[in-house]
């Protein structure tokens, strides 16, 4: 993504250089095998297409013909994270393990609605939750079954009476 005018000018100049290179491609690559020339041309064309797309996107945004993303969703991120964690059946401790942080960090983040979380941590949190979303969320029945199977079964008691030593 082009983020400023300087990057825009650099990308346009780079695209121009790629066009010039492509115009001279056959002459520059005449000593190469035909398959190598094709690979070289395809690489240049791929780079040019990527540059064209970035330039077009920047020009569209700058012209005002771009629809603004719904920025009000940002305020909903904390509750979305918490709701997703709960829907997955994860405790704060389990979530902390998945994130690679201490449980106190998840507790603090949720208590203050992620106000002190930096962007990197928010992105990582979203990625973990998104990855888990691709798997079906735990229902109450599957959570209960998992909890039941994790409880050790007691040994059956014998009906015979123990003999007292003589």
Average pLDDT per run of 10 along the chain, which is 166 residues long?
96 97 93 95 96 96 84 91 95 96 96 94 94 63 44 47 60
Taking domain 72-136, whether its CATH number is 2.40.160 is answered by no
The rounded distance, in Å, linking the Cα atoms of 69 and 91 is 32
Contact 58, 2 (CB under 8 A): yes
pLDDT at 132: 87
The residues, any chain, with a CB within 8 Å of residue 135's CB and separated by 6 or more, are none
Roughly how many angstroms between the first and final C-alpha of the chain, as a whole number?
88
Which two tokens mark 105?
Answer: 């960090």
Domain ranges of the chain: 5-63, 72-136
Helices (H), 24-118: 25-28, 34-63, 77-87, 92-99, 103-111
Which two tokens mark 147?
Answer: 């909890």
Q: 3-class SS at 70?
A: coil
pTM for the model: 0.56
């Amino acid at each position: 993504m082009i983020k400023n005018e300087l990057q825009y000018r650099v990308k346009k100049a780079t695209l121009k250089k790629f066009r010039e290179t492509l115009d001279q491609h056959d002459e520059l690559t005449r000593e190469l095998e035909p398959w190598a020339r094709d690979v070289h041309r395809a690489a240049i064309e791929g780079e040019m297409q990527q540059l064209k797309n970035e330039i077009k996107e920047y020009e569209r945004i700058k012209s005002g013909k771009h629809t603004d993303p719904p920025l009000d969703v940002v305020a909903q991120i904390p509750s979305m994270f918490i709701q997703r964690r709960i829907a997955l059946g994860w405790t704060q401790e389990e979530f902390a393990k998945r994130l690679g942080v201490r449980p106190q960090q998840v507790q603090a983040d949720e208590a203050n609605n992620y106000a002190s979380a930096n962007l990197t941590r928010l992105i990582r949190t979203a990625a973990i939750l998104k990855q888990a979303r691709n798997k079906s969320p735990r229902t109450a029945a599957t959570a209960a079954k998992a909890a039941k199977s994790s409880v050790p079964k007691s040994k059956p008691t014998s009906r015979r009476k123990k003999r007292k030593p003589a």
